[in-house]
Amino acid sequence: MIIPAKRVNSINEYYFSHKLREIARRNASGEDIINLGIGNPDLLPSDSTIETLQVEISKTDSHGYQPYKGIDELRNAFSSWYKSKFKVDLNPETEILPLIGSKEGILHISMAFLNPGDKVLIPDPGYPTYKAVSELIGATPLIYKLEKELNWLPNLGKLSKLDLSGVKLMWVNYPNMPTGAQINKEGFKKLLDFARSNNIVICNDNPYSFILNEKPLSILSIPGAKEIAIELNSLSKSHNMAGWRIGMLASNTQFIQYILKVKSNMDSGIFKPLQKAAAKALNNPDFWYQNLNHEYAERQKIGFEILDILKCNYQINQVGMFIWAEIPNSVYSSESYAEHILNKAKVFITPGFIFGVQGERYIRISLSNSREKLLLAKSRILLNI
């Protein structure tokens, strides 16, 4: 009998992996379920991005292995983008590392900094991958609470009183997923001071800065942040390129070298036409982002109307491509409520429990559906719930 590695038993299959299989199976049987769960952008990248891919894919030098740290043009484009949008100076040669989507960066960073038994601070509610990756490599997750009363920021005073010996890494995610909460420069400064005083590397996962957010902010804009911080970013949500798998991380030269040692043993570079097209996408004009946000704002209005029907409480100042909402007191749990809506209205909404204990009384709606689909979901819920 073949027995798998112990790490396989330390984690569960990603929630959306099996839930989307279920939805696909039910749709194949004729149920026509509307998926308001996963954040999978339905809009196209810019025309110039697509045109660049079409041109580059026909070139004879486009199909071989590529540099492990990405082509110069892409790193230069990321550098210019950070300077233009975040007012952050990054050396494209030594402080930027393109990724096959930022999700892989979570693994690479964890492998570069964590030994088995090291502790990792992980937010609750938060992206499940932070915890899963930590467990996969044998590190110990130390869950910290995001406080609703603090607009989903951690209480650093409470955190400082914990036994933080052995903590090497802290994951933060602002603008936050799933709550849609923002942070300001003072909030980032406090996080950095906490990390520095405890000798912890702080990682900000930052893919939602450009959706319904007028003031994109990077943790690296805080003076001295690069000494102790790493930032992940991605074109998946901000440029409608989720399936292209283009992301990046930025930090100081030494941290980049640590992570590159891991990454260079894991892949053989990103397909060159994708890199060329991504570089073009990073030069989208301001009106492209404005048009994208107008569409998301209209969708958000419908999402709020759906939540009103469901008698949920929510904050209207959320940013990003999701809406986070508290379920009614009369409802037993987020999972039971999501299943009830799915079975009665044929609409799938993400239950908040998958994001941690703090998400148990919440649900999350994705805005990566057309207004027409959202309106249809609204009518189904109105008639059936």
Tokens (6 digits) for 254: 């030494």
Rounded to whole angstroms, the Cα distance separating 67 from 71 reads: 6
pLDDT digits (tens, 9 = 90+) for 164-199: 999 999 999 999 999 999 999 999 999 999 999 999
Structure tokens at 234: 């991605």
What does each C-alpha distance from 143 to 148, 176, 279 come to in angstroms?
16, 16, 37
Q: Assess contact for 250 and 220: CB atoms under 8 A.
A: yes
pLDDT tens sequence across 40-66: 999 999 999 999 999 999 999 999 999
Q: What is the number of helices (H) and of strands (E) in the chain?
A: 13, 13
Report d(CA 39, CA 191) in Å as an integer: 27
Q: How far apart are CA 173 and CA 279, in angstroms?
A: 24
pLDDT at 9: 81
Taking Cα atoms as reference points, which of 320, 274, 278 lies closest to residue 300?
320
CA distances (Å), origin 98, targets 36, 87, 205, 310:
30, 19, 14, 41
Under 8 Å between Cβ of 52 and 276: yes
CB burial of residue 73 (10 Å; 0-12, 13-18, 19+)? middle
Q: What are phi and psi of 365, to 5 degrees?
A: -105, 130
The tokens for 294 are 């107008």
Q: Is the dihedral of CA 122, 128, 133, 136 positive or negative?
A: positive
Residue 170 identity: M
Options 3.90.1150.10, 3.40.190.10, 1.10.287.3510, 3.40.50.10490; CATH of 6-44+286-384: 3.90.1150.10
CA quadruple 10, 38, 100, 133: dihedral, nearest 10: -20
User: pLDDT (tens digit, 9 = 90+) per residue, 138-149?
Assistant: 999 999 999 999
CB atoms within 10 A of CB 124: 17
Give me 152's structure tokens: 């989903």
Residue whose pair of structure tokens reads 């990603």 in the numeric block: 14
Adjacent-strand bridge partners of 364: 324, 350
Instruction: Check residue 384 and give its pLDDT.
Output: 96
The 10s digit of each residue's pLDDT in 346-366 is 999 999 999 999 999 999 999
Domain ranges of the chain: 6-44+286-384, 48-281
Q: Which amino acid is at 178?
A: P
pLDDT at 6 over 90: no
Would you state the pLDDT for residue 15? 84
Mean pLDDT, rounded, of the chain: 96
The CATH label, of 3.40.640.10, 3.40.190.10, 2.60.40.10, 3.30.365.10, for the domain at 48-281 is: 3.40.640.10
Compute the distance between CA of residue 129 and CA of residue 143 in angstroms, rounded to an integer. Answer: 13
Judged against a pLDDT cut of 90, whether residue 10 lies above it is answered with: no
